[in-house]
Structure 1
Amino acid sequence: MRAVICGYYGRGNGGDEALLVSLLQMLPQEVTPIVLSNNPPQTHQRYGVETCPARSAFSLLRTLKKSDMFIWGGGSLMQDVTSFASPFYYAGVMGLAQQLRLKTVAWAQGIGPLKRATTQWLTKQALQGCTAVSVRDSQSAKLISQWDISPLIAPDPVWALESKPVQGLWDLPAPRVAVNLRAHPLLTAKKLEILTQALVDFQKATQTFILLVPFQKSQDLAIARSISDRLPPSHKIIELEDPRQLKGLFKGVEMTIGMRYHSLIMAGAEECRCFALSYDPKVSRLMKELDIPGWELDQLPDDANLISTAWLEHYVNGDALSQVQIHSLIDRAFMHRELLQSVIDFNLNL
């Protein structure tokens, strides 16, 4: 079987690349993946898969016509907060695949936020036409259950992503604390200044080595550099392109201060204490589900000392997820693999 895989791939976002690798890791052996990518040569080189330009209508149609299955490959594809156009693209490709009578799967989705009636309708139509649907959180399941859709609910597949060691990590001074911040309207210049000062104070109190970890260069690297300019030499900006190494990085980290959703998942999966700065409902839901301390960015204190003190308290007395919790999350994440296998088995037995 040939399966077209569609997601936010080839744009240098570590979390979305991790979802792609997780899906490739879980894809049954009977399936040949064709990945829709915004950078096809790079995706082919990194993962050894057949690719198709995501924005070429001709190539896309030709690829779909030669395929048996279409998969939305994880993430928050159907949301209209960061982009109004995005849901139209993803729903459009899904609709085309359904018109061509491919088996269609919405896989490991985080649905919403959907602020507009139009994007809600698009999402409903796309999901109702799917052969199978899985979501990564109960809020997404609650939303689409209103449309008489009963999805599989399982943790994000990145919990189960195989990690790889990072060369030279263990040569860096210990203990280590990782920091991931991304550009966002809620992260104003004033808030970034407060967080930077808090990090300077925290490092001075703990004598930790700070790892600044951009997940997407276009949105994270400039912020990492601005923080780097304020820190003493005991820090390093680490840029990793392989999502398996990105996850493996957190094996050597005591605590993570994370803004991105998948920075917290990767850190949590590697038994690293986490402190969250939420810019999005998906991060807030993860904080609640796993009891991760942190702040909503729009409620961040104005006092850098208060923030650094909270970080210090969690660093000294906070707990990472237990091995029992981690193993449970990983085991349940593999339910997304079982969903794919069930669709494949059903199709092969027709």
Structure 2
Amino acid sequence: MTKILISGYYGFHNAGDDAVLYGIYSSLRKLDPTVEVTVLSNSPEETMQLFHIHAVNRWNALDIVKEIRRADLVILGGGTLLQDRTSPRSPLYYLGIAGLAKGMGKPVFFYGQGYGPIIHPFSKRIIRFLLNRMDAITVRDSLSGEEMRSHGVTKVPIYVTADPALTIDPLEADLEDARRRLTKHQVDPDAPIAYIAIRDWKGEEHFKEELARCGDSLSQSGWQVVFLSMQYPHDHSPSVDVMSKMKNRAVLIDQPLNFKEIMSLIGLGQLMIGMRLHALILAAIMGVPFIALSYDPKIDRFVESVGKSSPVRIETLDGDALMEEVKEILLRLPEERMELKQRIGPITDQAFESARLLYRLLEKKKQEEKR
């Protein structure tokens, strides 16, 4: 039985990262139903409850060493683990796990990751040193691969695949549960719904007023405006801020939701306006047209990958212009949905390629051990 340890940003009540973990886990199990997976998590009990897999505390050094020792391979991913815009310490934890695993003689596979921005020279040096000693890297977009190579990661194969969350089957959505949840919040599941999924972003407060203007325009046009929190309670405050600036009614699903519950809700909607990358990805999976509000290169890269026009920049957001874009989508809603489904198909297969490459690497390692 193959044993795999996964390290990523898990157990932090972030539905997007949980969607990534589920995408990785389900892809591995499709290729090997007997695979035994352990996750390093900030909340091991919650991770075990949600995924029914083994999890240990990501801050317990003894548990980490124990699980690396038992593993046949260590995965780092997905998400954007290697970025230092928030703090130069951000990448060090994951690089430490990778370095420890290599020091213990374990293959390390970077799985479907985004990359950057990396702005500190020290981060670039340590990334170059450690990543060139990894066994294989898959990135979720071509620009992440190009940026890695520009930082000197040239001695390890880098494959462009796609975000692991894109492998989630839309048939796993529970639309009946979503209908009950919407009804409980006095939202008619059979009437038009526009979802908004935002986060706070330092120094960019004006976008909330502009988004409120767009929300009011939607409401005046007969739409129900519903706010979702991808990371609860972090996304609660900015959603309330926007709603407080609106003149018309909007609804906030004011509770923690897992990625399947959010995916199910989105599946009953007709539009997603989102800052959160995985709100956009879950919308794409469910065939729901979206407008991306970009605060980070990862948003731009995903939008490009599905062949959509450039996202709306947070710093230049204009409520009236946003509403015009909404109207353009709504005028051709059936075509938008069909085109989105057609684009997502090939990208889903690209995302699954990460799992195929991982098992090829494992098989190669096993053959080398027999020699």
TM-score of the superposed pair, with normalisation by structure 2: 0.87
Give the secondary-structure state (helix, strand or coil) at the position aligned to 2:225. strand
Q: Which residue does the alignment assign to 2:173?
A: 164
Q: Residues 100-150 of structure 1: CA distance to partner in whole angstroms, max 9, x if unpaired?
A: 011110110101111111111222223211112100000011122343143
Say yes or no: does 1:61 pair with 2:65: yes
**For residues 54-203 of structure 1, what are the structure 2 equivalents within 5 Å?**
54-146=58-150, 147-148=153-154, 149-162=156-169, 163-166=172-175, 167-169=177-179, 172-173=187-188, 174-188=191-205, 190-203=206-219
RMSD of the TM alignment (CA)? 2.0
Amino acid at match of 1:154: T
Q: Which residue does the alignment assign to 1:17?
A: 18
Looking at structure 1, the residues matched to 350 and 19 of structure 2 have their Cα atoms a distance apart, in angstroms, of 17
Looking at structure 1, the residues matched to 251 and 44 of structure 2 have their Cα atoms a distance apart, in angstroms, of 34
| Selected match of 2:313 from 292, 296, 299 | 296
Looking at structure 2, the residues matched to 338 and 240 of structure 1 have their Cα atoms a distance apart, in angstroms, of 33
Say yes or no: does 1:285 pair with 2:301: yes
Looking at structure 2, the residues matched to 334 and 193 of structure 1 have their Cα atoms a distance apart, in angstroms, of 40
TM-score of the superposed pair, with normalisation by structure 1: 0.92
**Greater displacement, 35-44 / 48-57:** 48-57
Looking at structure 2, the residues matched to 293 and 117 of structure 1 have their Cα atoms a distance apart, in angstroms, of 30
Looking at structure 2, the residues matched to 66 and 294 of structure 1 have their Cα atoms a distance apart, in angstroms, of 44
Q: Which residue does the alignment assign to 1:8?
A: 9
Say yes or no: does 1:268 pair with 2:284: yes
Say whether the 8 Å CA contact 2:78–2:111 is kept in structure 1. Answer: yes
Q: CA deviation at 1:297?
A: 1.0
Q: Which residue does the alignment assign to 1:334?
A: 352
Q: CA deviation at 1:240?
A: 5.3
**Greater displacement, 313-322 / 323-332:** 313-322
Looking at structure 2, the residues matched to 271 and 238 of structure 1 have their Cα atoms a distance apart, in angstroms, of 25
Give the secondary-structure state (helix, strand or coil) at the position aligned to 1:86. coil
Q: CA deviation at 1:8?
A: 0.3
Q: CA deviation at 1:346?
A: 2.3
**Greater displacement, 337-346 / 176-185:** 337-346
Amino acid at match of 2:355: R
* Structure 1 residues 71 and 256, CA gap change in structure 2 (3 angstroms): same
Say whether the 8 Å CA contact 1:275–1:293 is kept in structure 2. Answer: no
Looking at structure 2, the residues matched to 332 and 176 of structure 1 have their Cα atoms a distance apart, in angstroms, of 31
Amino acid at match of 2:326: W
Say yes or no: does 1:249 pair with 2:256: no
**Greater displacement, 232-241 / 35-44:** 232-241
Amino acid at match of 1:237: I
Count residues with an aligned counterpart. Answer: 346
Looking at structure 2, the residues matched to 198 and 311 of structure 1 have their Cα atoms a distance apart, in angstroms, of 9
Structure 2 residues not aligned, in runs of 5+: none
Say yes or no: does 1:32 pair with 2:32: no
Say whether the 8 Å CA contact 1:144–1:150 is kept in structure 2. Answer: no
Say whether the 8 Å CA contact 1:275–1:292 is kept in structure 2. Answer: no
Say yes or no: does 1:47 pair with 2:51: yes
Looking at structure 1, the residues matched to 210 and 8 of structure 2 have their Cα atoms a distance apart, in angstroms, of 35
Looking at structure 2, the residues matched to 330 and 240 of structure 1 have their Cα atoms a distance apart, in angstroms, of 27
Say yes or no: does 1:305 pair with 2:313: no
**Greater displacement, 62-71 / 284-293:** 284-293
Amino acid at match of 2:179: L
Amino acid at match of 2:27: M
Q: Residues 308-331 of structure 1: CA distance to partner in whole angstroms, max 9, x if unpaired?
A: 233233333462434321211112
* Structure 1 residues 7 and 311, CA gap change in structure 2 (3 angstroms): same
Looking at structure 2, the residues matched to 114 and 82 of structure 1 have their Cα atoms a distance apart, in angstroms, of 10
Give the secondary-structure state (helix, strand or coil) at the position aligned to 2:39. strand
Q: Which residue does the alignment assign to 1:237?
A: 253
Say whether the 8 Å CA contact 1:179–1:258 is kept in structure 2. Answer: yes
Amino acid at match of 2:129: Q
Structure 1 residues not aligned, in runs of 5+: none
Q: CA deviation at 1:210?
A: 1.8
Looking at structure 1, the residues matched to 133 and 262 of structure 2 have their Cα atoms a distance apart, in angstroms, of 35
Q: CA deviation at 1:2?
A: 2.1
Looking at structure 2, the residues matched to 238 and 23 of structure 1 have their Cα atoms a distance apart, in angstroms, of 28
Give the secondary-structure state (helix, strand or coil) at the position aligned to 1:275. strand
